[in-house]
A and B are shown apart, each in its own frame.
Chain A
Amino acid sequence: MGTIFFELALTLYFAGFLLSIAGIVRKKQDLDKAVLVCSLSGFILHSIYLALRYLKSAQAPVFSMHEANSFFAWSILFISFFIFFRNKAKILNFIIILSFAFMFVSAFFPRTIPSIKPELKSIWIDIHALMAVFGIALFSLAFIFSILYLIQERAIKAKKFGGLESIIPNLEVLDKINYHLIFWGFPIYTIALIVGFAKYISLLGFLFDPKEIWSFLTWIVYLSIFYLRVKGDWRKKRAAYLTIFAFLLIIFGFFGINLLTESFHKPL
């Protein structure tokens, strides 16, 4: 049910994806409006799809691989629109590529509504899962913007222009966006972890699960980024490098742990 909204959103994201690639390859921004229209309309349909799914299943739409990827794609777009309209930064063309990629992955997984163990059916688990994915979405954008920052910074330092940097925003904006992403991402991720841990302990007692340990490790790295960012005395370039590193840890947690280990957290 409502799967037509998913297909339509996917198609619009695909159109946005193609337009973005065309813009990036030609290093021009003339297609940006079209990219905005495609991704915004796709996003609206996607939101409808998620809402319908939530109403039908009465559980957060993040528990299967299909749901997690699709909600992740939705989250990064949601945040990007926020950044786009607030900072007037032309960044959608980079994001829609990522959004489409996750949406595309999501399309390959079965769309049935996952049945979760009855003891896990709780608002807290919903909150945990939603906030975890949303927090990771914020971090992944910080990752993208850190890469863009490094590209722009390298061009200016090396005094070589005519590359991708011509369609990347200036360093100050990129850094500001990065700051906000970490500023919001870290607390959200922290709450997600605390809620998850609390539920976990209440169900199973104090046991070590690979995913939990990994999440904790990543959390430590983000804590240090958060601390250094908020303190203000920080070399932006190093912040960018550390953000990239931290995100690679997250990605491993998101996919690697699920595939490689017999975690309690394995998708249901």
Chain B
Amino acid sequence: MSLIVIGVNHKTAPVEIREKLAFNSKESIKEGLRYLMNNHAINEALIFSTCNRVEIYAYHSGSSNTEKTIEGKKNIEEIIIDFLSNFHRIDRREFINYLYIYKEKEAVEHLFKVTSSLDSMIVGEPQITGQVKEAYELALSERTTSLIFNHLMNRAFFTAKRVRNETRIGENPVSVSYAAVGLIKKVFDELSKKSVLLVGAGEMAELAIRHLIGSGVNNIYVTNRTYERAKELSKEFNGKAVSFENLKEQLIKVDIVICSTGAPHYVINEKMIREVMLSRKHKPIFLIDISVPRNIDPACNNLDNVYLYNIDDLQDVVDSNILERRKEAEKALGIVCEETEKFFQWLNSLDSVPVIVSIRNKAEIIRQEEVEKFKSKFKDLPPELLNSIDYLTHSIINKIMHEPTVALKNNSDTKEILIFAARRLFGIDHEEE
């Protein structure tokens, strides 16, 4: 019985390697799965490929059927590495040093960590669980998973859910532009009714605008020293360009200002905002200054209903969120360990010997009970007869139990399924969740 994962991720391999090993479409994953399952040593398989990682999960029951030994002799690790190299047509020496290989408990733990977004570049980012789900659905559609992987994946999603519900890992944003949106949402309610003014340009400012659009803002104004540039940018966001001379009038109208110009001095000073606030009847305004040197006078934050955040403030928020996430990640690891343990308990329950023993015990107990009942009812019967009844029932049980015992002991592809079924059929399930 063995579970294995082989893969590369953003921590172990540079993008040049990851892109060579990546399965870029659903089709290529399906093809990969088929290719992989051609090898009979592998009973169940799953391919997980995103831009940050490529992982092959495989399970083989270690069966000793003769037809399989030919390839089974090869180590399962080798089979997967060969597969990667053959399928992607690259020399194994190119990537072998970047691979990580986890087996058994470590493999399960790794999968649970990946699914719960503890192994992600940005810990706690929520997309990964969905991506794993997609990968699992592909494997399902290709029928490359069975009893073990179906249960394993189920537990992985359950673990991810627990991590999400029981820790605060995904709660606070850890990128500057997301953090800005988060702060804005602390002040304003319905962003779809708010307007934003972009002063200047810049990658981070544009990113923040995009996040705001994603949160529902659709009233966007753009201004720039050169009007042409403003026009260009406004097209990008479906906004309106306004001339830089009208900055003050514009400030009276909008709710959110993102400032990012190359100016070496304050573009927006305290006096200006003071006047603006008077004109806007103190309606709250949120100012974000991501320019270095700063473009908005920090004194503006002292005015009532003016909320000013500069790049350092945002970075502080992000840093404390990252710290928070790290703390939460430790809690999450505890959950992962717990769930890994549970999964192995389940896996061990699929060992044939204890199952056979408990079925036989159960049968024996029933037999004895029934015989006792019979004996107490017919006390007058001669003891020889009673003894032969004992003997008779015993041999009936043995005869009935013979076939199932052989089937359960037999190392075949379906061994785990049979054991699983036997536990159900004879009602000896315990601590199975």
Contact B320 A162, beta carbon cutoff 8 Å: yes
Complex interface bits, B287-311 against A, C-beta within 8 A gives 1, otherwise 0: 0000000000000010011010100
Contact A172 B320, beta carbon cutoff 8 Å: no
Chain A residues with Cβ below 8 Å from B77 are none
A121 at the interface (CB under 8 A from B): no
Complex interface bits, B153-168 against A, C-beta within 8 A gives 1, otherwise 0: 0000000000001001
Which residue of B is nearest A232, CB measured? Answer: B281
Q: A6 to nearest B CB, angstroms?
A: 36
Chain B residues with Cβ below 8 Å from A86 are none
Q: B304 to nearest A CB, angstroms?
A: 5
Chain B residues with Cβ below 8 Å from A238 are 304
A233 at the interface (CB under 8 A from B): yes
Which residue of A is nearest B280, CB measured? Answer: A233
* Distance in angstroms between the alpha carbons of A161 and B309 in the assembled complex: 14
Chain A residues with Cβ below 8 Å from B313 are 159
Size of the A side of the interface (Cβ < 8 Å), in residues, is 22
* Distance in angstroms between the alpha carbons of A159 and B316 in the assembled complex: 9
Size of the B side of the interface (Cβ < 8 Å), in residues, is 22
Q: B236 to nearest A CB, angstroms?
A: 28
A170 at the interface (CB under 8 A from B): yes
B399 at the interface (CB under 8 A from A): no
A128 at the interface (CB under 8 A from B): no
Q: B394 to nearest A CB, angstroms?
A: 57
Q: From DSSP, what is the main secondary structure of chain A's interface residues?
A: helix
Tell me the B255-313 residues at the A interface (CB within 8 Å). Answer: 281-282, 284, 301, 304-305, 307, 309, 313
* Distance in angstroms between the alpha carbons of A170 and B185 in the assembled complex: 7
Chain A residues with Cβ below 8 Å from B190 are 172
Contact A171 B187, beta carbon cutoff 8 Å: yes
Chain A residues with Cβ below 8 Å from B320 are 161-162
Q: B340 to nearest A CB, angstroms?
A: 25
Contact A171 B282, beta carbon cutoff 8 Å: no
B189 at the interface (CB under 8 A from A): yes
Contact B305 A236, beta carbon cutoff 8 Å: yes
Which residue of A is nearest B185, CB measured? Answer: A170
A237 at the interface (CB under 8 A from B): yes
Complex interface bits, B317-334 against A, C-beta within 8 A gives 1, otherwise 0: 100100010000000000
Other-chain contact of A162, B188, B282, B324 (Cβ < 8 Å): B324
Tell me the A148-177 residues at the B interface (CB within 8 Å). Answer: 152, 155-157, 159, 161-162, 165, 170-173, 176
* Distance in angstroms between the alpha carbons of A165 and B305 in the assembled complex: 17
B186 at the interface (CB under 8 A from A): yes
Give residues in A with beta carbon < 8 Å to B: 28, 30, 152, 155-157, 159, 161-162, 165, 170-173, 176, 232-238
Q: Could you pull out 7 A-B pairs where Cβ atoms are within 8 angstroms?
A: A30-B165, A152-B186, A170-B185, A171-B188, A172-B189, A172-B190, A235-B282
Give residues in B with beta carbon < 8 Å to A: 165, 168, 183, 185-190, 281-282, 284, 301, 304-305, 307, 309, 313, 316-317, 320, 324
